[in-house]
């Protein structure tokens, strides 16, 4: 499906950890890593960053884990998510 048709519901993010009282959620760019974390299958949606980062910023997360347990990944903390959300706002000018 086109990610433009996806309505992101913040309650649908899987919280994987707590960081000083704030939620840590996961995102996967590698299907194999997602499958290894959820061998029975998992509901997921493909979302482009310009839609994702403003939403994550609104949620005031502790961090976003990218491909946790995978070969390639990392973690973005709240201030980094805010920087990316601000960049989206500047470059897209509020357009959806």
Per DSSP, 76 falls in state: E
Compute the average pLDDT of residues 28-56. Answer: 78
Residue 77 above 90 pLDDT?
A: yes
- CA 42/CA 35 separation, integer angstroms: 8
Tokens of 14: 């899987």
Confidence of residue 1 (pLDDT cuts 50, 70, 90): very low
Give per-residue burial for 9-48: e unless 16+ CB within 10 Å, then b: eeeebeeeeeeeeebbbbbbeeeebbeebeeeeeeeeeee
- Top pLDDT among 87 and 45 is at 87
Mean pLDDT of the chain: 80
Residue 84 above 80 pLDDT?
A: yes
Compute the average pLDDT of residues 14-33. Answer: 84
- CA 96/CA 36 separation, integer angstroms: 33
- CA 55/CA 6 separation, integer angstroms: 13
Residue 76, CA distances (Å) to 6, 20, 53, 79, 84 in order: 23, 15, 10, 8, 10
């Amino acid at each position: 499906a086109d990610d433009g048709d996806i309505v992101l519901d913040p309650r649908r993010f899987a919280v994987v950890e707590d960081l000083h009282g704030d939620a840590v959620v996961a995102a996967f760019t590698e299907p194999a890593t997602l499958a290894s974390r959820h061998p029975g299958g998992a509901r997921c949606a493909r979302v482009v960053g310009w839609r994702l980062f403003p939403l994550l910023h609104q949620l005031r997360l502790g961090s976003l884990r990218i491909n946790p347990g995978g070969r390639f990944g990392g973690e973005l903390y709240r201030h980094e998510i805010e920087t990316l959300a601000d960049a989206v706002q500047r470059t897209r000018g509020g357009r959806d």
